[in-house]
Amino acid sequence: WWIEVVPPPRVPPQVFLTQNPDAKTYDLNPRFGFDARHSGVGIKHFFCSIDGGKEEECASPKMYTLSPGAHEFSVRAVDNDGLT
């Protein structure tokens, strides 16, 4: 076998949506499903935010009750190595 001198670079998790409302919808209670690809160390937490508000720890699916108008959802993952 071969022992490497330098370990491979750690890669932050990549979040992707698995469920989201259409760009235009009448649904005032949209659900967002999400997951993350990571380097095998596992995901420790997800953090969600709506309309640029304060992030909160969340799980998939995340549902909101919203009023009509434009909205923006964001989600980020933190893996067990602390990469985000």
pLDDT exceeds 80 at position 14: yes
Q: CA torsion sign, 48 to 36 to 44 to 60?
A: positive
32-80 tens-digit pLDDT: 999 999 877 889 999 999 999 999 999 999 999 999 999 999 999 999 9
- Residue with the two structure tokens 């009750």: 65
Q: Which of 63, 58, 56, 30 is nearest to 43 (CA)?
A: 58
pLDDT tens for 60-71 read 999 999 999 999
Strand ranges (DSSP E) for the chain? 14-19, 31-37, 43-50, 56-58, 62-63, 73-79
Could you tell me the pTM of the whole model? 0.86
Q: Who contacts 41 (Cβ-Cβ below 8 Å, separation ≥6)?
A: 79, 80, 81
